[in-house]
Amino acid sequence: MSTNQAQIKQLNQLIDSITLYNHQYYVLDEPSVPDSEYDRLMQALIALELQYPELKSIDSPSQKVGGAPLKSFSQVTHQLPMLSLDNVFSLEDFHAFVKRIKDRLKITSSLVFCAEPKLDGLAVSLRYEKGVFVQAATRGDGMVGENITTNIRTIKSIPLKLQGQLGKDFPEVLEVRGEVFMPKVSFDALNTQAKKRGEKSFANPRNAAAGSLRQLDSKVTAKRNLAFYAYSLGFVGKLAENSQATQVNEQLAEQAELTARFFANSHYQRLCQIKALGLPMCPEVRLLKSEQDCDQFYQDILNKRSSLSYEIDGTVLKVDEITQQAKLGFVARAPRWAIAFKFPAQEELTQVEAVEFQVGRTGAITPVARLTPIFVGGVTVSNATLHNQDEINRLGLKVKDTVVIRRAGDVIPQIVSVVLAKRPENACDITFPATCPVCDSTVMKLEGEAVLRCTAGLFCQAQRKEAIKHFSSRKAHDVDGLGDKLVEQLVDENLISTPADLFSLTEIQVSTMDRMGQKSAKNLINALEKAKETSLAKFIYALGIREVGEATAANLANHFCTLTAIQIASFEQLKTVSDVGEVVAKNIVDFFKEEHNAKVVSALAGLMSWPDIITKSVDELPLAEQVFVLTGTLTQMGRSEAKAALQSLGAKVSGSVSKNTHFVVAGDKAGSKLTKAQDLGIEVLTEDELVLLFTKHGVTA
């Protein structure tokens, strides 16, 4: 059906009116028309687009009602990392943070800060191309997040098209970072409806917001009334096809030049510019002229916390001047120029009704306090770990005691103290079991450890479950579809007792499990078949030997090259491996000496395959026999990645500086090791110099 100019004009008028009213309502907080008028215009727009579907565009306000359900979320790589924030919890710590900044900037005058409440939601990045919203992603691990574009389109406060003029008010590509959250009134309404339908309610607005953003059906998200406040810029640049920059340095230079061209040298002013483009900015954001003003802002926000329309858990304070931010830079995954000043942990009183003992993967027996349920820190808490006997002794805790329970943010609930004045007459001591509470085997406490352990190894049902879960986990054999609950079912029904038994499962056996149909069963069997192809390092890590993590497993594989060599290695031979000390060497020897473990390893080895490790001669290793020490925080790579890269070039990586050390790599906040290296006259490399060294030899860390 063709359209005429009158219909196009009518549609554009509707879009312009609705966009204006959205901006007035969600950004300016100054609605000019009643809800009924807004609803009438929206229904008219939807009806017109249904009649003339060729007129519908991706930036139409009608797109906020949700689209067809997705099958899964794809991944998005951030062009600029999405950083997290370091925390402080006291005025003293905040003032120490300010002093560090002043010392680094070499100034004594007051710093200007941009301050805002710390919203209790989820960080997201919004991407606009030529002013049109095209993509949204979660923070993820800071480098890669989930593509939540369809769900973000449903949030009414987020414009699908920027206000202003391309090239004048904003560049071709603009990313805006901010927080998606659920207002308190929306949260209460959501839970009220859930209770009416007999469904499970959400514990807090943050969980509700997270659950809403992770809906594969965006129509569900659209009904949740989520909100968004912008808090910073992300990537600023040109569209790839128009950009002449081909190198990373050129891209960064282009990013800096374009950002400076379009946006002010003030974090606060940038937020105001973002608001002018149509994106909402938290009304509580303030420009503060001194750290004393920051102290007052913190107290003011804390006092009005309960009256705000959204949940917060502190304040965020950022150095306002952008040039100062650039000088301060970053440490690890957080900027040096910003800090989250968290509110005091939320505490409540409750009673310890009982103490039970759980057995972990390595046999560690952990006491867990069963509490009278109490709502604290946004959730209902009914359990708290007590760690070990030493912690119980420190608290002086007894069963039936009244205790102070604390939960701050997402931190695991902990018992802070015992209220002795409320101790009842029937309070009783906490007695650790003489035998394993799961398999009744002997328990023991190793010298130098505070933890009690079951000695039954893979014969203990609890350890079997955890060992199999670890074996199939993502960093080990990564068996897709083998979740924790399924592992527990398989063990409980005696279908498997060791990791090797996984590979004897049949589709028929798996399909009889709860929530496992024929297709899921087939996918799992295929995933297990795929998991047989691995690497020696991953196989060693998957065995779950105590204190043998990924890096140590890789060192063992590279040093011995074969599984047999590792199995028969002596205590002294193992200690020659980088990162393997006396404790780890003893754990490895004890693991392979245990008859039951040896049988499981032998069975697995007959099923697995991995490529041979190609050994190199000394001539092929440019850093052979050179000893490196890594100290401080590395920002461009992890410590384990740098260590592995050095070892691949033949270097030995030591944990301490001595006269035999050839190089010390000093990252941020390098301490005594750097000082000792300087005293001994050892050459010190910066992280940038280390990266250049890797590049020279064709190694990627």
* pLDDT above 90: percentage of residues in the chain: 41
Average pLDDT over residues 162-186: 94
**Which are the contacts of 256, defined by CB distance < 8 A and separation ≥ 6?**
none
What sign does the CA torsion over 253, 256, 260, 263 have? positive
Residues 271 and 338 both lie in one domain? yes
Given a cut of 60, whether residue 65 has pLDDT beyond it is no
Residues 291 and 438 both lie in one domain? no
Average pLDDT over residues 215-231: 90
Tell me what the pLDDT averaged over the chain comes to.
Answer: 86
Residues 400 and 357 both lie in one domain? yes
Given a cut of 60, whether residue 439 has pLDDT beyond it is yes
**75: in domain:** no
**Which are the contacts of 389, defined by CB distance < 8 A and separation ≥ 6?**
367, 432, 450, 452
Instruction: Return the CATH number at 374.
Output: 2.40.50.140
- For residue 232, the model assigns a pLDDT of 96
Residue ending a domain, among 289, 323, 342, is: 342
The residue type found at 311 is E
Average pLDDT over residues 437-462: 79
Identify the domain containing residue 462 by its residue range.
457-531
Residues 446 and 479 both lie in one domain? no
Given a cut of 80, whether residue 617 has pLDDT beyond it is no
Residues paired with 369 in a beta bridge: 355, 384
Helix or strand (DSSP H, E) at 235 = strand 227-237
Given a cut of 50, whether residue 476 has pLDDT beyond it is yes
Residues 579 and 642 both lie in one domain? no
Q: Tens digit of pLDDT for each residue in 88-118?
A: 888 999 999 999 999 999 999 999 999 999 9
- For residue 408, the model assigns a pLDDT of 59
Residues 258 and 338 both lie in one domain? yes
Q: Tens digit of pLDDT for each residue in 555-605?
A: 898 888 899 999 999 999 999 887 788 889 988 998 888 777 888 889 999
Choosing from 64, 118, 318, 643, which is the catalytic residue? 118
Residues 325 and 312 both lie in one domain? yes
> How would you classify the pairing of strands 87-88 and 338-342?
parallel
Residues 321 and 182 both lie in one domain? yes
User: Total structural domains in the chain?
Assistant: 6
Instruction: Return the CATH number at 198.
Output: 3.30.470.30
Given a cut of 60, whether residue 458 has pLDDT beyond it is yes
Q: What share of the chain is helix, strand, coil (3-state, %, to 5)?
A: 40, 20, 35
Comparing 173 with 656, the larger pLDDT belongs to 173
Residue ending a domain, among 605, 627, 650, is: 605
Given a cut of 80, whether residue 519 has pLDDT beyond it is yes
- For residue 355, the model assigns a pLDDT of 96
Residues 468 and 508 both lie in one domain? yes
**76: in domain:** no
Assess contact for 364 and 451: CB atoms under 8 A: yes
Comparing 516 with 352, the larger pLDDT belongs to 352
Residue 66 tokens read as: 């949700």
The residue type found at 290 is S
Residue ending a domain, among 405, 433, 455, is: 455
Residues 472 and 521 both lie in one domain? yes
Q: Tens digit of pLDDT for each residue in 360-376?
A: 877 889 999 999 998 88
Residue 105 tokens read as: 């900037």
**632: in domain:** yes
Residue 638 tokens read as: 């992890």
Count, residues in the chain? 701
Residues 334 and 355 both lie in one domain? no
Give the Cα separation of 359 and 463 in Å (integer).
7
Given a cut of 60, whether residue 68 has pLDDT beyond it is no
**691: in domain:** yes
Q: 171 in helix, strand or coil? A: coil
Residue 379 tokens read as: 């959730």
Nearest to 190 by CA among 176, 179, 172, 204: 204
* pLDDT above 70: percentage of residues in the chain: 91
Give the Cα separation of 382 and 372 in Å (integer).
6
Query: Which of the residue ranges 129-143, 439-453, 506-520 would you say has the lowest mean pLDDT?
Result: 439-453
**325: in domain:** yes
Residues 316 and 419 both lie in one domain? no
**393: in domain:** yes
- For residue 134, the model assigns a pLDDT of 95
Give the Cα separation of 633 and 361 in Å (integer).
31
Give the Cα separation of 209 and 72 in Å (integer).
18
What sign does the CA torsion over 127, 131, 133, 135 have? negative
Assess contact for 235 and 80: CB atoms under 8 A: yes
**80: in domain:** no
Q: Tens digit of pLDDT for each residue in 401-437?
A: 999 888 755 567 888 889 888 899 999 999 999 889 9
Give the Cα separation of 39 and 42 in Å (integer).
5
Instruction: Return the CATH number at 588.
Output: 1.10.150.20
Average pLDDT over residues 138-150: 88
End-to-end CA distance of the chain: 58
Q: Tens digit of pLDDT for each residue in 300-342?
A: 999 898 889 998 989 999 999 999 999 998 876 789 999 999 8
- For residue 112, the model assigns a pLDDT of 97
- The yes-or-no answer on residue 118 being catalytic is yes
The residue type found at 248 is V
**274: in domain:** yes
